[in-house]
Amino acid sequence: MQIPIGAQIPKPWAREHGSRPVLRSGRDVHGLNYLGYSWIDQGINLDEGMRMIKRAVEQRADDGYIVDSLGWAYYRLGNMEEAVKQLERAIELKPEDPTINDHLGDAYWRVGRVLEARFQWSHARDLKPEPEDLVEIEAKLKSGLPDDTSSAAEAEHK
């Protein structure tokens, strides 16, 4: 699949993040990251979405948000070991971000690092996330994650 220049971010992403960035070129780091992340999160265009995020990371390896996208993409695709590796790197770059801490907590939980998962979720909670995210984080602190092991990769093949 060729990345369509001028491709717009899907509406669900726009509602959540407040704007509809346009992919202006194959070098538009934020456009690559947003579009790739949104595709993977929706379970569509997974290979191309991952290529886009990796391209963004190549251009901005020191951007914690972009590295978080790569880690979360691995998580959604079911590659938990690589997810942990990338999310730990994202935390090093952006330790004060509640979403990144929450993502790392989820990945830790999936690899059986329960104590570390609860620590990350507690830290995410203390960093004052958005109200709707806070509700989800508090639920994880109470009960952990469900045993659902489905991934975006499985969703695309259904």
Q: Which pLDDT band holds residue 88 (cuts at 50, 70, 90)?
A: very high
Q: How far is CA 62 from CA 86, 92, 153, in A?
A: 12, 10, 27
Q: Provide the pLDDT for residue 28.
A: 82
Structure-model confidence comparison of residues 58 and 21, the more confident one: 58
Q: Which pLDDT band holds residue 115 (cuts at 50, 70, 90)?
A: very high
Map residue 73 onto helix, strand or coil: helix
Mean local confidence (pLDDT), 73-85: 97
Q: Which pLDDT band holds residue 156 (cuts at 50, 70, 90)?
A: low
Listed by start position, the domains of the chain span 1-60, 84-145
Percent of the chain with pLDDT over 70: 76
Angle at 14 between CA 62 and CA 132, to 5 degrees: 85
pLDDT of 4 above 50: no
Map residue 130 onto helix, strand or coil: coil
